[in-house]
Structures are given as structure tokens and as C-alpha cells.
Amino acid sequence: MRKYLLLCVTAMLLVTQGAWGKRFEVSDGKFLLDGKSVQLICGEMHYPRIPKEYWADRMRRAKAMGLNTVSAYVFWNYHERQPGEFDFSGQADLAEFVRTAQREGLFVLLRPGPYVCAEWDFGGYPYWLLKDKDMEVRSKDPKFLAACKRYIDRLGKELAPLTIENGGPIIMVQVENEYGSYSDDKEYLAAIRDMLKEAGFNVPLITCDGAGQMPNGYVDGALPTVNGAVGEDIIRSIDRFHKGGPYFVAEFYPAWFDVWGDPHSYRDYHGPVKQLEWMLEHGVSISLYMFHGGTNFEYTNGANTNTPRGYDPQPTSYDYDAPLGEWGNAYPKYVAFREMIRRHLPESTTLPDVPANNPVAGFAEISLEECAPLSAAFGRRVESDTVLTMEDLDQDFGYIHYETTIDSPVKGMLEINDLRDYAVVLVDGKQVGSLDRRHRQNRLPIEIAKAPARLEILVENVGRVNYGPDILNNRKGITRNVVLDGKELRGWTITPLPLYKAETGKFKFRPGDLTGQPAFFRGTFVMDSVGDCFVDTRGWGKGAVWVNGRSLGKYWNIGPQQTMYLPAPWLKKGKNEIVVFAMENTGKRTVRGLTEPILDSLGDDPNAVRRPKRDMSKTPILESGDIFLRGTMTQQDGWQTFGLDNTVTLRHLGLEVLSSYDDAHSCLSELELLDADGKPLKKDAWKVVYVDTEETKGNEGYAEHLFDGDPKTYWHSQWQGKRKAFPHRVIIDLGEISTVGSVRLRQRDPKMAGNVKDFVLYGRPQFFLFE
């Protein structure tokens, strides 16, 4: 233990005395700075998520907590928004971010990816990689690697002069990011490793992975580090690949990120402080993910699909419940971590004083009395017979608008097939509904009584997937087709609406109001003094906010955040302009500025699947005389058709699952009944009247998903909590007496739990009896 404590003392002495160095290396189980042992106490911060004017402020707070290193992802899509066109200016001036760290006495751990995850759109990849449908990202596809090399070479020109060997603060560079959670292609990893070296990064390289994924993510020539491990697991994990260390937890999680529609993430600090203490006393280097989260300005948030809901986008706030909050405020966690680090300083060494919180300032409630229609944002418009995606139209973030003409009256189901991610549907300029991918929605009943009529669909990219295999399935907008009453719609006018820059300054606003449609609303507010502010969006539905032409990001009444962070440097003393885009127009027209944020308040979710009211006090009597089909399904993709010897007439359908291939659960994606001619019966009037087991948490497995027309949704027997034994039963009222000649069923996924094996179907023209 004494050697570990000595290591810590040496490390802290180097930092607090402001010593720099000319060489950083990995040798003899240690990190060495000019030949002397150093322990890294890092904290993750992201330059696009922090106003440039506050970079130095946040770094001073990092230093005051006891950190000696800033860990920073590099976001490829922030710098190369179009192929070959790089931007490293202003907020994207990454070299200045690194130089700021050096001026504040902090080393830099650079994490350039090219994949970074980070709850950031597409994990940092630029959208245009998706334009080539034959290219496979995150692989050794030659076209992908060529794009990576162009990016890494350009990054080298910006940052290689700032390595410690060249007089700068960059002491290590990370190869890829948690690749072991994705795949195990060592040739791909080696290619990225070699690109970084060739770009001039002449410092030690590392990889980072969870303990269980390290065998996949390790590559020769890079020090393996571990994410999320604590205690002795850190030593055991790294010793498998680099016996004796140095030991580095590249991502230590004292908190977690939020998702839209769920409560704000909190983690009590007492446990993490104890874990930090162990690492400090055992010579383990550490990086807090996050030390300071910040804000997803300009719509840059990502999303996850490996969740019960199937799609969980992150909100604009990236507060993360980190030690340093969204606006640079110190949470109790910051104080506790600082005290633990301070206790491990050598005698006569002190930490800098914690800077006082930055000033805050609010503004009184104002009315937004000028408006502009959505069409005010229209620029380039594209005619196409079929729908196109954002990527087809060279668009990264924001919204996309589709418009077509309906030539004759129609009443039926509008289906938007593969909607990515949120749609507002309008007929002749008035909203008739909305659809939310979070709830697996893609269908909406509409009636057009008078034709011709204008059908509009406004779609929002709510966040590209940033983690897992679905990064390959990340195109945005309407990614397949639109069907109305069974007929595919064609003849579209499509308008890209990125709306994250200062386009609002070009809109023609007029006094008045616009209701029942997406629109922009403008007003002015006066600041007597300038300070950090929080725009209160409660009562507004869904949309975006700009102040003085700067994008604050998106709001959504479902929460948990109900305010938009407005940094003081973006404000002016006196008059300021605010523009609010109402994608979901609730009629709210006032805003005010608060002096503290609201980050944990859930609002009404109008698109949420409401738990159906089930009368479970009685159980159905299923009689053998009503059986019209006994069948066995196979474990395979696609529809499985079961013909009947004779047609059967029924209104009420009973499904009874007798067994499954995992002997525990039932799961079916779709059920269809076909008439005597083999045509599917309409399901608009179908209704579940009884189900004895379904998974309701996360809206995952309602029985209604059996007939919603979406193969990606499914009925699933309850698996969270108490599990019901077979048989599993669902009874459906078809709404009218129908003649059935065959049945089609579809498994969810042959590789996943609950594939149905043996089943029975019952049918009655009258109600089933209940006891």
C-alpha cells in the first residue's frame, strides 16, 4: 500500500506545483512524466457542449476539484459536415480548447474516435456516410476507412503540434471507443491505430472497453484501459492484457444521462466517493464520465435502441448529474469528490479555491406577438415521385417536410413506413395528428372529405442512434414509403429544414397568431443585467428555441427538462430577440427567463400508449368446439401461413399459446386473418377484449401490437416481475362478423426470447363466455 500512496503523492505534487513536462510514456507498470510516476485524475468535458466563452471557466473548476487532466472526445460530424469540408473555427476550434487546457495547467487525453458514442448523434459519425447504402461504417470497408483517414489526417494537422512531445498538453490518444462492445475485428482496430500514428500523434495510445468486452477491443500497440470497473476488478481486468499496469479506469461513472420522457437521472455520491477513494489509494488513474456534461446545442443529441421502448433519444440538456452541472454549477457531488481528492494531497499542498458560481439573471414573462408559418423556412424544394430521406438531400440535423396532393376523398389508415422519428401530419394546413417512434407509432386514421387536398408530413430527426448495431440503421425522415388506405402515395415535394443555424433571421414575421399548425413565434425581452438564464418552455408542446440567432436546442413538454439553458455570453444588456418554433402547436404564446433550471419535471405525453383498461376479474371459457386451427410455428423470420380446410365465420378470435421455444415466454409480432381469396382483413376495428399476460413496462408488449401492422412491435408475455405459466391467451373482437380462409403469424426475431411454438385458435360469431 505504501508504494501506491507514494505514487499518489508524487502525482499530486507534480500537478499542484504546476510542473509540465516534455515526455509522457508508459513504462514499468506506471505512467511516467519526464521519468517520474504520475497518477491521472481526469474529467470528461466536451467542447461543443460548453459555450466557447466558458471553456476556461469550466477548466478552472476542474482544477479546483483536483483534476489534472481533461478527457475529451472529438466529434467528427462537428468538423466535417460535408465530405472534405472541414471547420475548426469558433465553437469548433478544438486546438484552442486544447490550448486553453494547457493555460489552465491541465493535461489532455484526446479521444478522436472516429466513433465516440457520447450520447451524440450517430456516435459522432457524419450523416453523409449513410448516403452510400453499400458502405458499412465502423468496419474495414475500404470506402469507410478512406473517409476515416481523411478525417484523422486533418485532425493531425490541427492537434499533432499540441502533443506533449511537441510542447503541448496532449499526453495520450485513444484508438476508437468501446469497440469491444460492437465487434472484434482486429484488422479494423489496427487500421485506426496506424492512422493516428501516421497523423503525427506521437504519444501513447490506449483503448477503452468494459471488462467483459476487453478481449474484443484490445489491439497491440495500445494500452488497454477499462470502463466502469471498480475495486479489484480494475486490476484483474487490465492484468489479462497488460500485467502490472498502469491501471486506468477511462470511464468512471458517478452519474448517468437522461432520456426524453423519463425522470432526471440522479446517483447518490456516497458510493462513487468510496470508489474514488479506493482508486486514489491504490494508484489507479481515473477519468470521471462526466465531470461536466453541458448542453446539446443545435440538435446534436443521440439515441439508444437497446431499451424496452426500442427508441430512447436523449434531451437537449446533458447535465448528466455530473459533479459540475449543466451551467457550471457545483453539485454536492463536486464538493464530496473535491474533499476526497484534497485528503490525498501531500502535506503543505492545496487545491485552488473553487470559483464562485457565475451570475444568473432572469426576465419577466413576455408574449410572443409576431408569427411566421412553417413555409417561411422553406428554401430548396425537391420534386420526387417517392419519398427521400434527409441523407438523400444532404441534410444532417433538424426537420424535413413532405407534401403531396390527395386527388379524391378517402377515409382510411395513413401509414408512414419506417418513420424516423417524429411526425406531425397536416391536411390542408391543419394538424390532424402526430406519430412518435418512441411508442412504435407509424399509423394514423384520417378522413379527407373534400378533394383535392394537401397532405403534409413534417418529420423531425429526434436523434440518430449512437450505440449498438443500429448505428447502421440511422437514416432519417421517411425511410420507406407512405401508404393511405392501402395505396402508396407518390408525387412528393420535399423540403429540408435543418433549422439549427440562424435561419430565423431571414423569416418574415407579422403581428398576429397561427393555430393548429407548426409555426414560428417571435418576441423580445429586456435584460437589466446579463447572467446565465433558463428559458421556461412549460406549456409549449414540442419544438426549438433561438435567442439572438443562437440555437438553444429543442424542447419537449414530456420532460424531464422544462427549461433551455441560455448562456450569459449569448445575451445582451437591454433588448434580446427570442424565436420559438412550435412543431406541436399547443397555443402557448408566453415565455419567461428563470434563474435556475427545471431538469426533473415530466409533462403529459399525448402520444403515449395508454394502458388499455382490462377487466381481469373474469376469465374466458374456451371450448374445444370453437377450435378452428391447431398449429406449430417454426423459428424463422417472415410470415408463416396456416391454411384452413374450410372457411370459418367469426367475430371473436381467441389465441392460446401452448408452448414456446424457450419454454418461458410468448412473443408474436403480427397476426393477420385472410379471407377466402387470400386478402388480409382490415384491422381498423379490432380490439383486445382479454389478455392474461402482457409486458406493459416501457409500453413494450401490449396485446394490441399483435395487429398494429408494424412488424417491429410485438405482444410479449410478462417477463419483468412474476411470469405466468402456459397457456397464454389473447381474445380479439374483430368488430364485425368475418369469413376467414387462412391465418398468418409472424415471430418477432428467431434469435430472441419467446418464439411461439404450439398454438390453438378459437373462433366465435358471438362473444366468448366468461366465468
Check residue 120 and report its DSSP letter: B
Q: Are 77 and 8 in contact (CB under 8 A)?
A: no
The 3-state secondary structure of 481-514 reads EEEECCEECCCEEEEEECCCCCHHHHCCCEECCC
Hey, which residues does 430 pair with through a beta bridge? 427
Q: Which of 104, 158, 251, 694 is catalytic?
A: 251
- The 3-class SS string of 649-677 reads EEEEEEEEECCECCCCCCEECEEEEECCC
Q: Which neighbouring-strand residues pair with 115?
A: none
Q: Is 96 a catalytic residue?
A: no
Q: Which helix (H) or strand (E) holds 58?
A: helix 55-65
> What is the rounded CA–CA span in Å between residue 399 and residue 496?
7
CA-derived radius of gyration, the chain: 29
Q: What is the rounded distance in angstroms from the CA atom of residue 377 to the CA atom of residue 478?
A: 20
- 212, three cell numbers: 467483459
The separation between the first and the last C-alpha atoms of the chain, rounded to the nearest angstrom, is: 71
Extended beta strands in 167-204, E state: 170-174
Q: How far apart, in whole angstroms, are the C-alpha atoms of residue 542 and residue 462?
A: 11
| CA gap 10, 70 in Å, rounded | 19
Beta strands 758-764; 627-632: pairing state: antiparallel
- Measuring CA to CA, how many Å separate 483 from each of 117, 250, 709? 34, 48, 12
Annotation says 623 is catalytic: no
Catalytic-role residue among 104, 165, 176, 178: 178
Give the residue among 293, 266, 286, 264 at the shortest CA–CA distance from 337: 286
| Beta bridge partner(s), residue 406 | 453
Alpha carbons 682 and 577: distance in angstroms, whole number: 51
Residues 6+ apart with CB under 8 A from 752: 667
Give, for 364, the enclosing helix (H) or strand (E).
Answer: strand 363-367
Total length of the chain: 771
Q: How far apart are CA 715 and CA 719, in angstroms?
A: 12
DSSP E strand stretches across 260-369: 285-288, 303-304, 312-313, 363-367
Supply 360's cell numbers.
444568473
Of 705, 619, 633, which Cα lies nearest the Cα of 670?
Answer: 705
SS3 category, 461: coil
Strand locations in 675-720, DSSP E? 687-691, 715-716
Name residue 374's beta-bridge partners: none
- The reply to whether omega before 452 is within 30° of 0 (cis) is yes
**C-alpha to C-alpha distance for 646 and 655, rounded to whole angstroms:** 19
Which of 156, 155, 130 lies closest to 143, judged by CA? 130
Say which amino acid occupies 407.
D
- Residue 217 φ/ψ, nearest 5 degrees: -95, -5
Instruction: Report the catalytic residues.
Output: 178, 251
